[in-house]
Amino acid sequence: MNEMEIREKLVDYGKRLVAAGLVQGTWGNLSMRLDEGHMLVTPSGLDYNRLTPEDMVKVDVTTLDYEGEQKPTSEKGLHAEIYRRRPEAGAVIHTHSKYASVFAAARRAVPVERPDLKKVFGGQIAVGKYGLPGTKTLWKHTIEALGNNQGCIMAAHGMICCGRTMEDAYDHCLKLEECCRQYVEDGNERDEEKMDIKEVLVRQRAFFNEGVTKDLAYRRRGLLKLRAAVKHHEDEIFDALYRDLGKSTYESYETEVGLVYSEITYMLKHLDRLAKPKRVATPLANFPSKSVIFREPFGSVLIMSPWNYPFQLAMVPLIGALAAGNCAVVKPSNYSPAVSDVIAKIISETFSEAYVHVVTGGREANQNLLSQKFDYIFFTGGKVVGRQVMESAAKHLTPVTLELGGKSPCIVDESANIALTARRIVWGKFLNCGQTCVAPDYILVHKSVKSKLLTALVKNIEALYGEDPINSKDYSQIINEKHFDRLSSLIEGEDLYYSGGLDRARLKMGPIIIEDASWESKSMAEEIFGPILPIIEFDDLRRVKKEIEGRPKPLALYLFTRSKASIKYVTKNISFGGGCINDTVMHLATSNMPFGGVGDSGMGNYHGSYSFRTFTHEKSVLHKSNLIDVPLRYPPYGRDTKWLRIFLK
């Protein structure tokens, strides 16, 4: 590795420690500019050669010299932050010595007697071992400042890594990283669920107010880093999706990872155009002037994602938020813990928590997040929690996007291509074991083709998943026992036309078709969100319209037909979030169209340019000329409105 590569690795390493909550730190004399959101606790003016324990106890934080690459810390409004953290940090040290990499101020102490620390560091501090001028003095004063933690200073309150060369420093970083890995594996990592989210928001707002994220080059670098991180962790993502949902690698790429790559590619390609101020026409009443719309980020946004597509439904909104210039807090679902852990790992390795932070946990974590004042909230999930999100947001007047769900109808009229219709319905319905918010919830089929459709559905189920679907490697599983039991209750007492099998122990539920369902069936009372497909016949499309209109507006609607009249009638007269003609689900994979619900199925939209718009405020600015000032608007007003009517009509 050349020197710059080593410097970059040192910086990345430090960022991982910071993001994991193990270290608050700074890097000494690194020439490359660092994210200033990391520089939160280390006053760089304290030279280690002059440091004494008294300095750490009595220092006046309002008079510290904040020289160095961090720029004046006072500009960041962090004096109080430094002062508040100083007793916790124990010793805060920074050096600008040549080729030194220094990390200081660990957030949590580790017991001196820990055997893994003794193994890694030999049970004592190697005073002067690294040959850095003044190192012995550095150790001496650090030990004094830390009191009784002398035995393992490098992992107790201060984590210090330095070297004669960059190679030495990096080599020691690897040892320290191993120590941190053991620390995490032993269950002593910082509890992210109980982390003070207010602290994160303070950091994010301070970082956002610096204006760094408004730089398009910075946004682009962030997206590139995210893409590289996802690529690096692809196998872990696939493994996590299999553990949580039983997804195959192919399906995981098709419906999760591939869509994330596609969204990043879109944003990188179109970012300049999307962010460019837009000149619009100015009415005669404002002559002479020009009107411009500026697209500015909101600030710190909260993204709450569900468990059914846990990776892409967290990442795709995040991509839009970052492309738009926001900071973000991501809250993945507690029901998909393996994927949530991978998301947290990717984000912590890629960004500082002052830019992007992941909060894991369950209901308590959600409530804690919703009690905070974010600048925007993007929620994907069920209606019950969606209402709670909106209620909480209303208390702070926070704008929201709600991506909810509903019972999405699939209409098959007498002119449809039954063979192709059945194949596309089976794919869209049983993808992810039916746990897709836009999956066809039920079929409305013209009675003249019902029998043919039923036969074709079974034929395609067996073609795609075999005669024993629950044992197909391409067929996913139900998320948990609670959801499995709820779905099982929907088919109790029903006459099943087809069942692909049930295995509660493995959370496997095969495709199920209810032949003679009615509007009063149990499966029609709520969104199914599983592999159960009720079939209702009709003979008049106008009756279908009336039944659908009598229920909450669906997130999606699908129509299979060859009739232009049917297409025109349905698209003109039935309200729904989005949908397809002669296909299912695929409308959400089109970056040039918005995806979102209407009414009970949600509000707002995203994907592609619509994600950028969702996460930006359109600021209107009228730039008036000083050359001419039309007196018409000023009093005293005359009685003749002739000229006024010319300007305002």
Q: What pLDDT is recorded for position 634?
A: 85
Q: What pLDDT is recorded for position 575?
A: 96
Which amino acid type is present at position 382? G
| Homologous superfamily of domain range 409-596 | Aldehyde Dehydrogenase; Chain A, domain 2 (3.40.309.10)
Helices 216-232 and 312-323, interaxial angle, to 10°?
160
Q: Which of 186, 125, 135, 195 is nearest to 155 (CA)?
A: 125
How far is the CA of 252 from the CAs of 143, 235, 237, 341, 558, in angstroms?
51, 11, 8, 17, 24
Q: Which residues of 551-564 are buried (b: 16+ CB within 10 A; e: fewer)?
A: ebbbbbbbbbbeee
pLDDT digits (tens, 9 = 90+) for 152-174: 222 222 333 333 344 444 454 44
Q: How far apart are CA 571 and CA 380, in angstroms?
A: 25
Q: How far apart are CA 239 and CA 35, in angstroms?
A: 32
pLDDT digits (tens, 9 = 90+) for 342-355: 999 999 999 988 99
The DSSP bridge pattern shows strands 512-514 and 532-538 to be parallel
Helices 337-350 and 234-245, interaxial angle, to 10°?
160
How far is the CA of 461 from the CAs of 9, 29, 503, in angstroms?
50, 63, 18
Active site residue 69: no
Q: What pLDDT is recorded for position 642?
A: 82
Least confident among 121-130, 296-305, 396-405: 121-130
Percent of the chain with pLDDT over 90: 62
Answer with the residue of higher pLDDT: 64 or 170.
170
Compute φ and ψ for 510, nearest 5 degrees.
Answer: -75, 170
pLDDT digits (tens, 9 = 90+) for 250-265: 999 999 999 999 999 9
pLDDT digits (tens, 9 = 90+) for 411-428: 999 999 999 999 999 999
Sheet holding 616-624, edge to edge: 278-280, 289-297, 616-624
Most confident of 22-31, 136-145, 358-367: 358-367
pLDDT band at 404 (very low <50, low <70, confident <90, very high): very high
Q: What pLDDT is recorded for position 507?
A: 95
pLDDT digits (tens, 9 = 90+) for 78-122: 333 333 333 233 222 332 222 222 233 222 233 333 333 333 333
pLDDT digits (tens, 9 = 90+) for 171-197: 544 444 444 444 334 433 334 444 478
Q: Name the CA radius of gyration of the chain, rounded.
A: 30
Q: What residue ranges of the chain are covered by domains with CATH 3.40.309.10?
A: 409-596
Active site residue 161: no
This model's pTM is above 0.85: no
CATH class of 198-403: alpha beta
- The answer for residues whose C-beta is within 8 angstroms of residue 173's C-beta and 6 or more apart is 9, 10, 13, 101, 161
Q: What pLDDT is recorded for position 402?
A: 97
**Quick check: 300 and 205 in contact, CB under 8 A?**
yes
Q: What is the dihedral of CA 169, 174, 175, 179, to 10 degrees?
A: 130
Q: How far apart are CA 606 and CA 218, in angstroms?
A: 22
| CB-count exposure of residue 283 (10 Å: 0-12, 13-18, 19+) | exposed
pLDDT at 483 over 50: yes
Q: What pLDDT is recorded for position 284?
A: 82
Which amino acid type is present at position 74? S
Q: What pLDDT is recorded for position 117?
A: 32
Helix (H) or strand (E) holding 419: helix 418-430
Q: What pLDDT is recorded for position 227?
A: 96
Which entry of 180, 437, 527, 580 is annotated as an active-site residue? 437
Which entry of 251, 263, 403, 527 is annotated as an active-site residue? 403
What are 581's strand-pairing partners?
A: 559
Q: How far apart are CA 415 and CA 449, in angstroms?
A: 9
Q: What residue ranges of the chain are covered by domains with CATH 3.40.605.10?
A: 198-403
